[in-house]
Amino acid sequence: MSDPTLAQPHLVEVHTTTLETVVTTHNHNHRPSINASGEKKKIVGVFYKGNEYAKLNPNFVGCVEGALGIREWLESQGHQYIVTDDKEGPDSELEKHIPDAHVIISTPFHPAYVTAERIKKAQKLELLLTAGIGSDHVDLKAAAAAGLTVAEVTGSNVVSVAEDELMRILILMRNFLPGYHQAVKGEWNVAGIAHRAYDLEGKTVGTVGAGRIGKLLLQRLKPFNCNLLYFDRLRIDPELEKEIGAKFEEDLDAMLPKCDVIVINTPLTEQTRGLFDKNRIAKCKKGVLIVNNARGAIADTQAIADACSSGHVAGYSGDVWFPQPAPKDHPWRYMPNHAMTPHISGTTIDAQLRYAAGVKDMLDRHFKGEDFPEQNYIVKEGQLASQYR
């Protein structure tokens, strides 16, 4: 690790979590006291199914079958723990348990969309936990107005996502996938790959967002001798900026035309939703490569598909879609020169063990009426963390 602090699961992913009041008046009356000592709670976990893979690795705790490895611990204290992958629509398993659930745990990889309507129905709800990073599947303003706490395991999969982004940059830059497909099909056509394969060295890579993941990616890119740029509302620590050799860009639209590769590393907020639309993509250099492991909805679905088809975007890779799971007819499945996967970058076995431990720690604190590590809060006492403003 280039930075020993990065292994600490409690560190902030996107800057420091300064809190800002979103709602000035709160009605906490209908919410139960979270300090009720010894009260038995109903916890609902929504995860993806492990199926035949669940038994292949005892540390595969992020699936329904693994249940974050906390079932025995919760049930030994008399709590009820319901785990499901069924989360969509009025007849889903999640919907059935919403009225009397005290805690809902979800992941960004198989998100339980906790809408304002669901929050209204959930009269006993106290806490929404994200096993991982990114709580945009929750209507945060509705959660704040209802006096709920929303928290995530900040820093738990920073290394996992940054490593995955580096891999995607190289896969696109070297035009790797057509070569792999040739190998599988028994073909041999070097020209079909070589005409659009390049070295990473000497290229300009810009990250949109330089929180924990963006910073770590820049550190990982340093040995490749690229020109490194970053756009963010906050500057990186000057010493680290100098050490990495990254240049701060104040204006996103001024940075984009300089970049051969653009990596999206910003949370999904009202400000970033649809950030990469037709107009913004047009400002990028023709032949740009785009990597997005942040959130699918930051990019306009059709605009990306059109730009890949026209060749303005030479390659697009990421593991985030909107919605998730992505429907079979999602345009990104069929656009040329993509290297898309299901949402996997932050759910390596190492990351699962970190976010499972973080969830257990926060549940333990919640039952005891104790505060969480400050940087884990997304909504606390009606206030929203800065990255979601």
pLDDT at 197: 98
Residue 31 in marked binding region: no
Residue 175 in marked binding region: no
Residue 271 in marked binding region: yes
DSSP H or E segment with residue 120: helix 116-121
Q: Which of 114, 125, 122, 133 is nearest to 13 (CA)?
A: 133
Please name the residue that has the structure tokens 């606390």. 380
Residue 33 in marked binding region: no
Residue 28 in marked binding region: no
> pTM value?
0.87
Residue 267 in marked binding region: yes
Q: Is 333 a catalytic residue?
A: no
Q: Is 295 a catalytic residue?
A: yes
Residue 343 in marked binding region: yes
Catalytic hit among 343, 354, 376, 383: 343
Q: Is 302 a catalytic residue?
A: no
Residue 95 in marked binding region: no
Residue 115 in marked binding region: no
Catalytic hit among 97, 110, 118, 295: 295
Angle at 109 (CA atoms; ends 318, 104), nearest 5 degrees = 150
What is the token pair recorded at 170? Answer: 């190289």
Count other Cβ atoms within 10 Å, centred on residue 310: 11
Q: Which CATH fold would you assign to the domain 42-154+348-388?
A: Rossmann fold (3.40.50)
pLDDT at 9: 36
Catalytic hit among 110, 137, 157, 292: 157
Alpha helices in 156-291 (DSSP H): 158-173, 176-185, 191-194, 212-221, 238-244, 252-255, 278-283
Identical fold for domains 42-154+348-388 and 157-340, yes or no, is: yes
Beta bridge partners of 83: 45
pLDDT at 388: 76
Residue 232 in marked binding region: yes
| CATH 3.40.50.720 holds for 157-340 | yes
The domain locations on the chain are: 42-154+348-388, 157-340
Cα–Cα distance for residue pair 127/44, rounded to 1 Å: 11
pLDDT at 155: 93
Beta bridge partners of 129: 105, 151
Catalytic hit among 175, 219, 265, 324: 324
Residue 268 in marked binding region: yes
Which residues of the chain carry a pLDDT beneath 70?
A: 1-37
pLDDT at 37: 57
Q: Is 343 a catalytic residue?
A: yes
Cα–Cα distance for residue pair 114/35, rounded to 1 Å: 23
